[in-house]
Amino acid sequence: MALPLDPHLVQLYLIAAIVLVLAPGPDSLLVLSRSITDGRDAGVVATIGITVGNLVHSTLAAAGISALIAASPALFDLLRYAGGAYLGWIGARALWSALSAARAARADRGASAIASESAPASRVFLQALLTNLLNPKVILFYLAFVPQFVAPELGHVAAQTFVLGAILAGLGCAYLLGVSALSAGAARKVLASARVKAVLDGVAGVLFLGFALRLLLTDRRIA
């Protein structure tokens, strides 16, 4: 059974989706930081968590639930505050890690990096999933971007919405897997210095706090 999609719109959608996937955001930063800190496997697990989150958003958009959330000031603000607080917590933890690494580097004259214990895969997956699901900007994105490439005259609007969202999730997954592989490979040399690790954690912490502030300032405009 052929999918009810307009081939011309799909071509345009793929071009636009690839450009959007390459834009930096909390998801790509999380995969990057996890891959550098905990290795390639952690980056892959984070990518899976984010991809599952995107598929959930696709399902919610297709079912019309995302539209209800965006239209409700109370629900949208609740999600916005929760997402901002969660990103802020991730940023604060990264800054604390940077401070600890900097102290150890001063004490050890930066001779070697701190031996840190890798986070469990379940924690990495949950962190990535929540980072994606608690971001109302993703809901607004699926409501504003995906419907532009739906062809109502072909029918099955919900199915078209889900399939287009799933395509975006797949493209994002492929890109994040590449980020994980490249960053984890480079990390072996980069993390040889505790000072370098402190700088990387500090930068990640500041960026996550910036994403948190940006999220808290998000409104419900979808057009």
Determine the pLDDT at residue 51: 96
Residue 1 predicted with pLDDT over 70: no
Specify whether the CB–CB gap between 66 and 60 falls below 8 A: yes
3-32 pLDDT, tens digit each: 678 888 899 899 888 888 887 788 888 898
Determine the pLDDT at residue 155: 78
Residue position matching structure tokens 């019309």 = 64
With CA atoms as reference, report the closest residue to 111 among 197, 199, 204. 197
pTM over 0.75? The answer is no
Determine the pLDDT at residue 53: 93
With CA atoms as reference, report the closest residue to 44 among 34, 56, 54. 34
Tokens of 9: 């719109």
With CA atoms as reference, report the closest residue to 169 among 62, 89, 86. 62
Task: Say what percent of the chain tops pLDDT 70.
Answer: 78
Weakest-pLDDT range from 61-65, 119-123, 181-185: 181-185
Distance in angstroms (rounded) separating the CA atoms of residues 112 and 22: 34
Specify whether the CB–CB gap between 95 and 206 falls below 8 A: yes
Distance in angstroms (rounded) separating the CA atoms of residues 10 and 5: 7
Average pLDDT over every residue of 93-120: 64
Distance in angstroms (rounded) separating the CA atoms of residues 90 and 182: 23
Determine the pLDDT at residue 22: 85
Distance in angstroms (rounded) separating the CA atoms of residues 104 and 110: 8
Determine the pLDDT at residue 112: 47
166-210 pLDDT, tens digit each: 999 999 999 999 988 887 666 555 555 566 667 767 777 787 788
Specify whether the CB–CB gap between 41 and 125 falls below 8 A: no
> Within 13 A of 206's CA, how many CA atoms are on the CB side?
7
Determine the pLDDT at residue 114: 46
33-58 pLDDT, tens digit each: 888 878 889 999 999 999 999 999 99
What is the domain partition of the chain in residue ranges?
A: 27-216
Average pLDDT over every residue of 63-74: 74
Which residues, 6+ apart, have CB-to-CB distance to 90 below 8 Å?
A: 30, 127, 131, 208
